[in-house]
Structures are given as C-alpha cells and as structure tokens.
Amino acid sequence: MSKGNNMKAIQIHKYGDPEVLSYEDVPIPKPNADEALIKTEAIGINFIDIYHRRGLYQQSLPFIPGMEASGVVEDVGSNVTEVKKGDRVAYAMQIGSYAEYAVVPSWKLYILSDNLDFKSGAAMMLQGMTAHYLTHSTYHLKESDTILVHAAAGGVGRLVVQIAKLLGATVIGTVSTEEKSKIAKEAGADHVIIYTKSDFEEDVRNITDGKGVDVVYDSVGKTTFEKSARCLKRRGYLAFFGQSSGAVGPIDLGLLSKNGLFITRPSLNNYVTNHEELLERANDLSRWIESGELKLRIHETFPLENAKDAHDILENRKSAGKLLLVP
C-alpha cells in the first residue's frame, strides 16, 4: 500500500530476465497541465512489457514498465477536459502502469461504462484496440475474406478471431496445443492448425484449395514470417505486428514479388494518434463486450509484487488469454 508521498511499484534497473522486476517504494508522480493522476485498480500485461524488460525497446533506466491499466482519476492538470476526478478510466500506450499510481496524458484516457469492471477495462485496451486497428484499418476485413491468425488463443489473436467473425470473414488459426485449439474454436475460428503437429503452410494451402489467404496476422515473427508470406494469395497482406519468437532478420523483397504481396509493420501508436481515434476504437470494443459479441478471457490475475511470475508465464507461452496484475 502507498504511504505518504510514496507508492509501491515495479522498477527495472537493468535489462534482463524476469528477476530484474523489482518491487519497491517510489514517489507518487504528479500530473502536468495535460495529464491526470490515476489510482490503479488493475494492470494489463502485454508482450511489449517483455520487450521493454529485455531492452529490445530501450527506456531510460530505471523505469516502471507496463503500458496499460484501469483505475480512478485521483487528480487532473489545469488543461484537462477529457476526464474529471472520480471518473473510472482505462488507458493504454503509456509506460509506467506497474504501480499503485500512474500519470497519463488525458487524451489517452477512456471513461469506462458502468457495465465494465476494472479488470475488463485493463484487459481490453491495448490488445483490444490492436485487434480493432488490424481488422478495420491495417486491412479492412470483408465478408468474402479468408484470414490466417497466428497465436489464435492468445490475447490479441483471440480478439482478432472474434472481431473477424463479427465482420463475416473465414478464420484459420494456429495454436501450439490441443487445449489452445479448443479456445480458438470457442472464439469462432473456422479451422485450427496445431503447428507443433503439422506444417501450417501446407495446411493453409489444403484448407484454401491452394488459393491462400487474403491476410495473415502474424505476432510471432522469426519462426513464422517467411511461411506466413507463402500462405498469402495474390496481392495478399502480411500484417506483422509482433515478434514473440524473436526479431525478423533482413527481408528479401523478392519474397513479395512473385504474388505482388504487401507487408506492413503496424503498431498501436500509429493507429491511435488522438482522443477521437481512441474513442472510435474503444467505443466499439465496449459495445461489443457489453452485448456479449466480444468475450474477454482473463487467464490469471497476480498481485503486483508477483509480476515476475506473470512475465514467466507469458514469455514461455503458458497463457491462453489475458494476464493481469492488481496492486
């Protein structure tokens, strides 16, 4: 619990394994004119947190990791108009969420409806808005499309599957185990490939009668990248938005020339650039969740001090759904 002007937080003093996540006392931050102070209720864990911890995406040391949370507005800066003290809010794209309090630019805050609890708020923002931009903006899915979703039982993958089915697309998903296959099927996947048992490229060709898919959503990276490209039909799109298996090396553009393929490396901060874009995406997510059309799956919730255990589970792909921390 916070005491006086201090709070509990996870800090990283050096890059490395989960053991570098240090639970300690730090000063409670103060909001500037365009910021709000949020008392944290739930914290979303995402693979980008692991990239930050490893130093793949470097920060000034020491730093508090975490890019997503929900909570209550405790204080606001003099220029803030989007929220007020006491509002229940959620946010993403702002580092420093592994803490009892966080300062967030007010334009990044989304006011939660009365029907969404804090855990849902923390679970929906980063992965949910990622799934939204992938299916609505990076490539606008149509009813006639067939797609391939890697890690289809994971946080983003499971949401992409559900949104794609809302839009009427045919979905092929890849997973690593029978248990995750069931989760992907429950999310609505039409075909599920267990990539540890068969060649997903060959299976995709068989499922599509050799035509390939319109778009591949690939968050895995190194181990899937080239095979993903070969799963595409002519003028297909490879949306490469993560690298859980490692960074993709230099790309031979000749890989794209045979079928006139498109490749993109999208990220959330390029698809939510202002409060209006945030509202557009988060309002859709909130509406779908409240109506039951989009179902969040929270795999496990950990006390904040046990963040290293949560990172171990995520990094070793032992989760099927969202991992949360609670201060």
CB 214 within 8 A of CB 233: yes
Please state whether beta strands 322-326 and 35-45 pair in parallel, antiparallel, or not at all (unpaired): antiparallel
CA distance 93 to 98: 13
Q: Which amino acid is at 267?
A: S
CA distance 312 to 88: 30
DSSP state of 19: G
Rg from Cα positions in the chain: 20
CB 324 within 8 A of CB 301: yes
Confidence of residue 318 (pLDDT cuts 50, 70, 90): confident
Domains observed in the chain: 6-126+272-326 (3.90.180.10), 143-265 (3.40.50.720)
CA 241 from centre of chain: 10
Average pLDDT over residues 198-212: 97
DSSP state of 106: G
pLDDT at 288 over 80: yes
CA distance 35 to 109: 10
CA distance 161 to 252: 30
pLDDT in tens, 57-82: 999 999 999 999 999 999 999 999 99
Grouping H, G, I as helix, E, B as strand and the rest as coil, residue 193 is strand
CA distance 199 to 48: 28
pLDDT at position 108 = 98
pLDDT at 1 over 70: no
Reduced DSSP (H G I as helix, E B as strand, rest coil) percent helix, strand, coil of the chain, to 5: 35, 30, 40
DSSP state of 99: B
Confidence of residue 51 (pLDDT cuts 50, 70, 90): very high
pLDDT in tens, 26-50: 999 999 999 999 999 999 999 899 9
CA distance 141 to 137: 9
C-alpha angle 131/283/270, rounded to 5°? 50
